Chain A
Amino acid sequence: MSMRPVISRIDQINEAELLILKKRLRLTTIFMLGLALILGVRLWYLQVLKGDEFFKSSENNRIRLHWMNAPRGMIADRLGRPLIANRPYFNVTLAREDAPNPGEMLARLATLLNADVNELLDRIREAEDYPRYVPITLKEDLNWKTLVAVENHLYDLPGIRIDVQASREYLYENLGSHLFGYLGRVNEKEFNDSEGGYHLNDQIGKLGLERIYEKELRGEPGRRYVEVDAQGFEQREVSVLQPLPGADIKLTIDRDLQEVAEEALDGKAGAAVMMEVDSGRVLAMASSPPLELNEFVGGISAKAWKAMQENPMKPFINKPIQGQYPPGSTFKMVVALAGLSEGIINNDTTFFCNGAMRFANRDYHCWKKHGHGTVSLERALAESCDVFFYSVGMKVGVDKLAEYAKSLGLGAPTGVILEHEKSGVIPSTAWKRKRYGQPWHEGETMSVSIGQGYDSTTPLQICEMTSALVNGGIRYRPQLVEEIVDSGGKVVKTFEPIVDGHAMGSVKSMAFIRAGMVAAVNTQHGTSTIAKMPNIIVGAKTGTAQVVKVEQYKHLKEKDIPYNYRDHAWFTCFAPAEKPEIAITVLVEHGLHGATGAGPVARKLLDYYFKEIRPRKTTEKDHAAN
């Protein structure tokens, strides 16, 4: 349709009507002018007639609104022992308005604070663009001695005030740092998304459980309307709406075990996870090195941030869920399960290991140069014979292996509540086609069968796998939070174990695998004898994750291999063998050998659990029964 007919129709409308409309405009204009005049008169009334009065009330404007942040919820361990609480935090602030001659005063203040006066002047310079009545923070977190000194001299320090602010107190320094995460000042996105729920200097959880349970932990801020005088000093409280304290979070973590795990990993880069096999409750989950939590209080400095970023041990990576490593020999359990369940081997099947297996004109070596001789499944697991698993793996095939691995939770996030969990990789022919556009080579199945090559897993996955292998194949989701308790002590939410799936394969096959792992600890040539305990029977498996092809460094002594090229060490175990309760998985980056690199960490956890925790747990249960 063109515009023409419409316009011509409009043109026909007579001029007279147009004129009448236009005449009416004059009336409208007068009407609007009249209304505008009302506004003008009102302005005159407010500003000129009553101006002085209003000016006075603005000078000593009475009622001011202060927001009061609620005390943040605590984070406590399995037994309700607090791990993170709050403490008041005293800052020195300067209101420039009230400090007409700050030079001398700042010099006095600097002496009291034991600080360089230039440092204080820098702070003032940074805030130069702000209006004079916005207070500037000169120094954060005074200790008691300094606080008292400053308080006593306040009369002599015009414009200086002490400002109290609640902040996190980490009762055990960096314990559980990767689980808890940290707080920081709200950023633009959080500020806007909250639609006014947050104010400018508010703290908000930035990482870990502090972030995930921000809403519960934060509570609801309160409001205080106060009457102030012209100097801004409070005269009287007009009305108060008390803040609603945040809820406490009770973890499944046991403080003592977490401490043991972190101490055992001290100085190393790595991860340790301990889980109840019949529920998925995580008793300890450590990542080393830890985050320096106290650096984040009151805003982390650029220097500290950079130092952590550049640390070669990568403290920012939460290794149990974000570290992805080839599973090494811990993958042999998967191969065994697939072989047994698919009927390719039985418990008596043997292979002969002469130190290598030849395939497609290449020798695939066993770690034991001269071979294990004739090996059965139990011995193959106990002594970690590579040739045995090359043979089984090749017969099972990579795609079947992948199915079993996935049914044990490998190659996918475990679903633990923490964010940014990695999935690892479990290769298959389809995966390789999709990822690289190439067909699968049979030789690659050899590497995969001993957990090298494309395979990669997180320590938490290996722990979940170990747990499933010994509890009859049930895959529990790793659980970190037990319950949320509101400030009145009422339990608002309880978390129950979640079953994420079942392992493929028969329960009988799993029993054979457990026997192999027990043999690894309890026979003379087993690889995991480090975990042998006097009264408790432990089952375990070591692993070595190749970082680079060994050939290059073969001629070097171990201590001469550069740190970054050393293999990662795995150790995964369960106990007690007759009725498994716990699974422990340890990974030490560049720890060289499973038994010597990661084994001692697991051993410390085992010792502590059976000496301290388990007896306590039985009494707990008795109490519960009563």
Chain B
Amino acid sequence: MLRIDRRLLLHFDWFLLLAVLAVVAMSLVNLHSATYVGYPGVSPFVKQMYYYLAGGCVILAIMSVDYHFLLKVNYPLYGIVLVLLVFAIAFGKATAGAQRWINLGFVKLQPSELAKLSIVITLASYYCRKDTGRGFGLGDLVPPAALLLVPVGLIIKQPDLGTALMLVFIFISMTLFVKVRTGTLIFLIIVGLAIAPMAWKYGLKPYQRQRVETLFDPENDPLGTGYHIMQSKIAVGSGRVFGKGYLQGTQVHLDFLPERHTDFAFSVLAEEWGFVGAVVFLSSFFFMVFLGLNVAAVARDKLGVLLAFGVSALLFWQAFVNVAMVLGLLPVVGMPLPLFSYGGSSLLMNLASIGILLSVRMRRFRTGSKG
């Protein structure tokens, strides 16, 4: 029989759960508006409900296990994700020219989403085992960098630049968090600045370069990517202070907005609910991230701190990049808004992240006598 330790419940983070539920509720309300007309068969709304239910089960499952279990399975997990990534490239289904999906029959799996959480777990476990007190030197950075670059390489091959960059963001956040020696850091920044122009010229595909260029001059390309940015900005801006009203967004419903239920879901919200609605949403979301960081602050050991920090950073960076893209601050890359955009793989992965936060938080008490 499963006996629930009373202390587990005592330390359950009800505020975090409430913040997540708030984001989820807003997501569903918004998804209904973005998709209630025009999709044959089972609507994305209903599918998303199923994903949320499945995600709830995932949270429960993760919460019920001590997160130290991850120390035992982190490398097998990492290995499985690599295999799935290879599989996606070899046999995956192409969407808009990228091999991102593995079709499991009942559901299409997007391994690059799993890779995001997997890199958090892998790095947390790795840094947890290392003595990081004195800070990392150049040589110390080689193994974790290798752990990063294998999945990044596979994801770039798909190609999915957004997700690849997200992994790099997570790596930089977590590595800086455990401390890099000042000298090493300065050295790396200089090297980075030196190779950036090269990467710009040779590393990016022409369409990717073009996306960055149109960011600074969207009117130059009103029919291509510039069209998306322009229409998204018009959608957000035309919401003004109080929005056009629920289901009344003309940008959404007259088909001006691309990907309106996935990557551009936030612009639907901003158009229909205005500045007020957008701020309420972003506040809820970043409050949720703040609670995640708080879990790190009260965690009982280094693994807990690293996991909670990594997961919070993951939620934060995804949201930041997505919203900045929708608002025309960053180039258009494939990046869903966590817990908000339509899409099963992303949703399940992000709900699993929440599960890890709750798990760390519930086990903040010490085993044994120490308070």
Contact = CB atoms under 8 A, between A and B. Distances in A.
A35 B318 CA distance: 12
Contacts of B289: 32
Contacts of B69: 3
Given A61-B250, A61-B256, 7 more contacts: A7-B68, A11-B301, A17-B132, A43-B327, A58-B238, A61-B251, A188-B40
Given A13-B302, A39-B324, A51-B238, A188 B223 contact: no
A131 B293 contact: no
B286 A32 contact: yes
A200 B69 CA distance: 48
Contact of A6 (B68, B239, B278): B68
B235 interface: yes
Given A10-B128, A17-B132, A58-B251, A47 B239 contact: yes
Interface in B222-266: 222-223, 227, 231, 233-241, 247, 250-251, 253-256
Interface size bucket, A side? Answer: 35 or more
Interface in B312-332: 313, 316, 320, 323-324, 327, 329
B133 interface: yes
Nearest to B237: A54
A21 B302 contact: yes
A58 B297 contact: no
A193 to B, nearest CB: 9
Interface in B70-113: 71-72, 93-96
B302 A46 contact: no
10 contacts: A21-B302, A25-B293, A25-B297, A25-B305, A32-B286, A33-B286, A39-B324, A47-B274, A55-B237, A191-B41
Contact of B309 (A25, A35, A48): A25
B161 interface: no
A619 interface: no
Interface string A127-158: 00111011000000000000000000000000
Nearest to A193: B93
A87 interface: no
A52 interface: yes
Contact of A64 (B66, B256, B297): B256
Interface in A46-100: 46-48, 50-55, 57-59, 61, 63-65
A1 B270 contact: no
Contacts of A61: 231, 234, 250-251, 254, 256
A48 B68 contact: no
A58 B251 CA distance: 7
A10 B301 contact: yes
Given A3-B66, A39-B282, A65-B255, A191 B40 contact: yes
A22 B296 contact: yes
B303 interface: yes
Nearest to B258: A65
A130 B247 CA distance: 11
A18 B366 CA distance: 14
A187 B240 CA distance: 38
B289 to A, nearest CB: 7
Choose among B42, B237, B241, B323 the residue with the greatest number of A CB atoms under 10 Å from its CB.
B237
Contacts of B365: none
A524 interface: no
A498 interface: no
A188 B39 CA distance: 8
Contacts of A188: 40-42
A63 B290 contact: no
Contacts of B132: 17
A535 B134 CA distance: 107
B296 A25 contact: yes
Contact of B237 (A22, A29, A53): A53
B241 A48 contact: yes
B204 interface: no
A196 interface: yes
Interface in B201-217: none
A126 interface: no
B175 to A, nearest CB: 12
B283 to A, nearest CB: 9
Nearest to A53: B237
A52 B240 contact: yes
A239 interface: yes
Interface string A14-39: 00111011101100110011011011
A1 B72 CA distance: 9
A36 B233 contact: no
A195 interface: yes
Contacts of A40: 279, 282
Nearest to A189: B41
Given A25-B309, A48-B240, A187 B40 contact: yes
Interface of B: 36-42, 66, 68-69, 71-72, 93-96, 128, 131-133, 177-179, 222-223, 227, 231, 233-241, 247, 250-251, 253-256, 270-271, 274-275, 278-279, 282, 286, 289-290, 293, 296-297, 301-303, 305-306, 309, 313, 316, 320, 323-324, 327, 329, 367
Contacts of A10: 68, 128, 301-303
Interface of A: 1, 3, 6-7, 10-11, 13, 16-18, 20-22, 24-25, 28-29, 32-33, 35-36, 38-40, 42-44, 46-48, 50-55, 57-59, 61, 63-65, 129-131, 133-134, 186-189, 191, 195-196, 200, 225, 232, 238-239
A180 to B, nearest CB: 24
Contact of B223 (A36, A42, A225): A225
A17 B237 contact: no
B128 A43 contact: no
A40 to B, nearest CB: 7
B177 A28 contact: yes
A307 to B, nearest CB: 25
Given A21-B177, A39-B323, A58-B238, A64 B71 contact: no
Contact of A195 (B42, B95, B301, B324): B95
A39 B275 CA distance: 12
Contacts of A43: 236, 270, 275, 278-279, 282, 327
Contact of B233 (A11, A28, A46, A239): A46
A133 B247 CA distance: 12
Nearest to A62: B222
Closest 5 pairs (CB-CB, A-B): A54-B237, A188-B41, A51-B240, A58-B238, A47-B275
Contact of A28 (B95, B250, B303, B309): B309
Contacts of A1: 72
B251 A51 contact: no
A131 B253 contact: yes
B237 A63 contact: no
A29 B131 CA distance: 24
B225 to A, nearest CB: 14
B270 A47 contact: yes
B238 A55 contact: yes
Given A13-B302, A63-B223, A47 B278 contact: yes
Given A6-B71, A131-B247, A191-B40, A50 B222 contact: no
B302 A47 contact: no
A406 B10 CA distance: 76
Nearest to A27: B177
Contact of A42 (B222, B305, B329): B329
Contact of B240 (A22, A47, A63): A47
A22 B222 contact: no
Nearest to B320: A35
Contacts of A33: 286
Contact of B236 (A17, A29, A52, A54): A54
Contact of B241 (A51, A58, A196): A51
Given A39-B324, A40-B279, A196 B96 contact: yes
The CB with the most chain A CB atoms within 10 A, among B133, B234, B290, is that of B234
Contact of A133 (B36, B93, B179, B253): B253
Nearest to A232: B254
A27 to B, nearest CB: 9
Nearest to A57: B234
